[in-house]
Structure 1
Amino acid sequence: MPEIRRATSGSHRGSCARRTCRLTQPQEDCHMKSPSLSGIVLALFFLSSGVEAQVYDDFDSPTLDPVWSWVREYTPHWQLETGYLTIMSDRGALNTERFNNVQNILLQDVPDEDVIRLETKVLFSPEFWLHNAGLIYYIDDDNYIRVSRGLYPDDDGIDYNGVWMEWEREGITLFHFVNDVHSDTTWLRLTCANDTLFHATYSLDGTAWKEIARKILPFSSGTARAGLQAANGEGLLAMGESIPARFDYFGMEPTGVQQGEMLPALLAIESVYPNPLQMSNTAVVMFRLERADNVRWYLTDMLGRRLGVTQARGRLQPGLHNITFSLRDVPAGVYFLHIAAGNTMAVQSILLTR
């Protein structure tokens, strides 16, 4: 498998530079915020782990550290204010090659370590479908992972107001949602093991963490970077005005978590075959449940319009299950399969060809 290129850990070691603190021991010249419980807990967390190559940016400086770089920077819609980086959630999407237009993605190199954990605290209250803000692990516009606080449209007018993990690999997109977060302040984490296994979690207090999803994704070759993003919309579904996402800090550090310690997702789409799907074929979808729950599924087009009715599978036991479907009377294009179990949802993009 082609290797993912990352920065050597040496490039991330040392003392503080501006407000980006690479912490190997307490540094008196770091520009830390005035003491707060969350800030103290975070600082103690970073300092107590005893590992090098840590990055912590609390956005207290009037300028960004030069280790950061932008993808599609739009200067009027981001700013540094006292202790926060604000990025406006402008209209834009990354899923499918048709769009790839999210502005103001802020990135820096990922250090060369076996297991890396990204973390941020974001103040963000989504108002319309597909407002989202959070972490991003980025190789290019068609190979990335996002862990976001956001609002997602479900069928029958029900909204998933919560957190999600979204990933795209070589143009194929999949989402996993957790509903009922309803908090203006959310902590997000993404743990990356050997550039292959990714585990997303969230917290409402910075202490107790809950799982969003985990996924094995052997990305193609490229340079891995990580950072922050905010956007409004996926595809043609952007609604409402841009709203601010205020990031309190960004942390990136090696961690002792091993792959075996990363818990499986409660609901995961394991495979869709074939994909791309020809109109004359039937798709077989394999999905896994980690606990018994009521399951339903449905299909939508790029505008979010539902194809047919929601299919109820009833209460399924833990394990591997399958569904089948065909798309014969609709135009060629990109469609989305939604599978919901309890308050979680997984979404997989399907490319339909003639």
Structure 2
Amino acid sequence: MRILGIETSCDDTAAAVVENGRHLISSLRSSSAAIQQKFGGVVPEVAAREHVLSILPTVRDALHAAGMDWQDVDGVAVTRGPGLIGALLVGVTFAKSVGSALNRPVVGVHHLEAHLYANALIAPIQFPALALIVSGGHTTLAYWTDHGQLAVLGETLDDAAGEAFDKGARILGLPYPGGPAIERLADQARPDRSITLPVARLGADSLNFSFSGVKTRLRQLAADVPDRAPELAFALQEAVAEALTRNIERAYEKYPVAHLYLAGGVSANRRVREKLGDWASRRQVTLHVPPVELCTDNGAMVAALGYYRLTKGERLGREEGPQTPWPLREAMAGARGEESGTCC
């Protein structure tokens, strides 16, 4: 079953073809990041306009790279939310139009759950597992017991990990997107234990995250020691990686699983991978991380998740459109036909 996946939640227009939820046939992406750089971040109206211009050629190129024609598509999966409403509207409308024209089923998927399925393109998912999704707009920790069975354990209370990098980069005068720029600058840092940033403590039982304090302290230090930008970037990277690792350890104490899945744009950060890898090695847990090219938004992850949703009979209704905001716990409860709530 060959699924066409379409992703337009933010500034990347992406399309891919995946067979049976596991085998990546083609994956193409058109990014408006270069256009957004002049604004220092994503402007929703600009992103939506670029999606309108890019979506048809991107999908055509993905099908061509797969050696397929439109009629060879067995189903369509599209990111329904969360994200920028204008950007999502472009993708969902296009996907529904393709489905209607070809008489193929269409399913809308949750962006965060889709990120995890980048791992399914490398090897079958092993349940039960802990799942950590870290991206520009979201930081979510979940207990993953089966396809469509994610119980949210903790979320960000303010800035997400990716936002901490983007806003930190802006403070340090670095370009958008901030994550790669922070990593490059941190590589130039000299050892200096006197420059550190706080890791929020939200209570012994809390598995939530908070990164706003890191941003505030970084701004103060940038004013005090403006000539130490590499060391400040290094400290920011360490604080984010430490916050993620601490909550993984706390979650593991409650759910001692054998597998940890990492996903989202921040999972491309080398220091985050190293620190979680060290933790996993100590705990004899297998850490699963997608290739860097599948960490950021892409159509392959959408197609992979879409396969499992379509085979369960899920469909995007004629009157259904983008959904944002769309909390992951609410999406998971809806998939089970339950009321939303906290985990366990």
Greater relative contact order structure (CA < 8 Å, 6+ sep):
2
* Structure-1-length-normalised TM-score: 0.22
Structure in which a larger fraction of residues adopt helix:
2
